[in-house]
Chains A and B, each alone.
Chain A
Amino acid sequence: MQNILLHVHPLKVSEKSLTFHRTFGLGGIAALLIAVQIITGILLRFYYIPSPAGAYNSVVFLKHQVVFGQFVRNIHYWSGVFLLMIAFLHFLRVFFTGAYREGRRVNWLFGLLLLTIIVLSNFTGYLLPWDQLAYWAITVSTNIIGYFPFFGESLRMTIIGGKELNADTLQSFFAVHSALLPFMLLVLVVYHFWRVRKSGGIMLPAGQEKGEMLPVMPNLVYREFIVALVLMAVLFLSGALFNAPLLEKANPAYSMNPTKAPWYFAGVQELLMHFHPFFAAFIIPLGVLAFMALIPFLKYDQPPSGHWFISDKGKKSAKATAVFAVAVTLAGILFNAYVLNFEIMMPGIPAFISNGIIPLCILFLLMFVYHRFYHKRFRLSKEERVQAVFVFIIVAFIVLTLCGIFFRGKDMALCFPWNA
């Protein structure tokens, strides 16, 4: 056991890289959550039946007849939710400590791929209970794919194997969820870790002494062990206290009101309430993804600092941009819902223009004005400006997601969570 633990670690690590707030241990926590997902996933497969007739009943059987059935299902559910959140936080940590430059460019791309695979794992797993929540959330999200230009509808029909969700959809989602994605995840995670070691361990602040090199045993291994214990305690507690949701069996003739996409797509669904689908489901997500993939390949005028938020100026501009993003997103949601609806205001003009190009132009104009004003005053470096764009995207995404999850009630109208 000790041999394995030492084999996956380097012999010695810098004392600087042991500081908890360098990484918050997010990558390691994600790896452990993946292990939990695989173990509980295998356990669930002993009872789950992947067919519309059998799926729901097998989950109910698991809940009520199997000893610890509910508990195993809860752990699988919560570790899936946590994994997505932790992987997202890890992505933020890597960005804000500048650990995506020079030798780490390719690993940044693999990180994005891993994040995508984790989202897809959650998404394919969401359908499997075949209850009302699952059926309608996947119906709504796969219909969003149908709005991609040219190939959207055929892509949607390929993914779900028909015009509506059916037995084939469940069977393929099950195969992808329980075999293809876990396999890819395992291989890619190992590669992801290996590349970090090839880059000389985790990113450290530039211009500082590397510090004393300490043996990993016990310095790193014991720390990891403590984090793992705390994580397992949190996971078991969540699994014991909060049940994974399960509504009535899926009924294709009756939609839930409101029907919401899975929580991690609530931001895209919220965007769909405000933009023409071509923009909300295609142009904007694609643009964001392209920007994320391009970040390490831009030309920067300074070497990476490795400090959180680059510098003091970077910290200030990130904060100001976060405030700006919250204000613009909230104002956009409220104005569009109550004051300005371009599609209804301009009935003669196609929704593509009135509800797509016009609001997007207004958004870009606001960003441009903010940028001019801010950049003139603070003289930000290129790296700090890229960081500001990143902050804007992430904060807007979070605000949209929270709004979609908590502030949308009956008929998807805006309301407070306690009135929903």
Chain B
Amino acid sequence: MNRKNGLPETANSGKFSRRDFFGMAWKGLGLLAGLEALGMLSAYVFSGKNKQNPLSKQMQEAGSVNSFAPGSVTAFMGGRFYLARLQDGGFIALSLRCTHLGCSISWEENKKRFICPCHSSAFDINGEVLNPPAARALSYYPVLIENGIVKVDIGSLKERNSFRKDQLVYAQ
């Protein structure tokens, strides 16, 4: 064996020799070192990311409960949400992002619907899909009402497939 490399043939040729063992060991160690380097590389590249998000864990005050008329939609562009108050007085803070490809939707007052300019998906005041291609209802942010003040937790976006009653928040 290994005559090609000019190495002497060992006595126990044909069997698993010491040289074979060391050869395998080197390969194994090399593979291990490679994987380790890959792990370190990805840890380096990705661990520092996604930690500078200015929106994380942030409560935004929207205003007093009475300043939002039932059936109205108010835009908060800084927090990137629409605060909708339904006819029955329930609040929901809808994300600005269309669930199709992430464009910014806009509220059309006369048609009472959200329209996405990119592929004309439409959503009702609850964020429910009225018109495809969007397949999921608009994501929303948790709303908290304290002492008659509406606050929106713009750090924790909630995704959903469709609208449910328990996503609404009411003033006591």
With a cutoff of 8 Å between Cβ atoms, the chain B residues found around residue A413 in the complex are 120
The answer on a CB contact under 8 Å between A157 and B50 is yes
Asked whether, in the complex, the Cβ of B96 is within 8 Å of the Cβ of A253, the reply is yes
> Taking the complex as formed, is B112 at the interface, i.e. its CB lies under 8 A from any CB of chain A?
no
A166 at the interface (CB under 8 A from B): yes
Residue in A closest to B75 when the chains form the complex, CB atoms:
A253
CB distance from A355 to the nearest CB of B (A): 8
Interface residues on B, range: 20 to 34
Residue A200 lies at the interface, judged by CB distance under 8 Å to chain B: no
Question: Residue A143 contacts which of B45, B46, B102, B132 (CB distance < 8 angstroms)?
Answer: B102
**B53, A253: Cβ atoms closer than 8 Å:** no
Nearest neighbor of A158 in chain B, beta-carbon distance: B46
- Residues of chain B with a CB closer than 8 A to A136's CB: 103, 118
Query: B101 near A143 (CB under 8 angstroms)?
Result: yes
Is B101 a contact of A258 with CB atoms below 8 Å?
no
Expressed in whole angstroms, the Cα–Cα distance for A393 and B159 within the complex equals 36
Query: B73: CB under 8 A from chain A?
Result: no
With both beta carbons as reference points, the residue of chain A lying nearest to B78 in the complex is identified as A253
- B101 touching A412, Cβ below 8 Å: no
Query: Of residues A143, A161, A255, A412, which shows the largest number of chain B Cβ atoms within 10 Å of its Cβ?
Result: A255
Number of interface residues of A (CB under 8 A): 32
A102 at the interface (CB under 8 A from B): no
- B144 in contact (CB, < 8 A): no
CB <8 Å contact, B49 and A172: yes
- Among B49, B80, B101, B132, which residue has its beta carbon within 8 angstroms of that of A252? B80
Chain A 264-293 against B: per-residue CB contact (8 Å), 1 yes, 0 no? 000000001100000000000000000000
CA distance A297 to B128 in the complex (A): 49
Are A255's CB and B118's CB within 8 A?
yes
Asked if B67 CB lies within 8 Å of chain A CBs, one says no
B20 to chain A, nearest CB (A): 30
Against B, the Cβ 8 Å flags (1 = close, 0 = not) of A201-213 are: 0000000000000
Which of chain B's residues 95-115 have a Cβ closer than 8 Å to chain A?
96-97, 100-105
Instruction: Return the chain B residue nearest A352 by Cβ.
Output: B135
Are B119 and A257 touching (Cβ within 8 A)? no
In the complex, are the beta carbons of A411 and B120 less than 8 A apart?
Answer: yes
B residues 41-83 in Cβ contact with A at 8 Å: 45-46, 49-50, 52-53, 77, 80
Given contacts A140-B102, A157-B50, contact A258 B135 (CB under 8 A): no
Contact of A254 among B102, B104, B132 (CB under 8 A): B104
A binding-site residues for B, Cβ under 8 Å: 136, 139-140, 142-144, 157-158, 161-164, 166-168, 172, 252-259, 272-273, 343-344, 351, 411-413
Given contacts A259-B101, A272-B133, 5 further A-B contacts (CB under 8 A): A143-B101, A157-B50, A168-B49, A255-B118, A257-B118
List B residues at the A interface (Cβ < 8 Å): 45-46, 49-50, 52-53, 77, 80, 96-97, 100-105, 116-120, 132-133, 135, 157
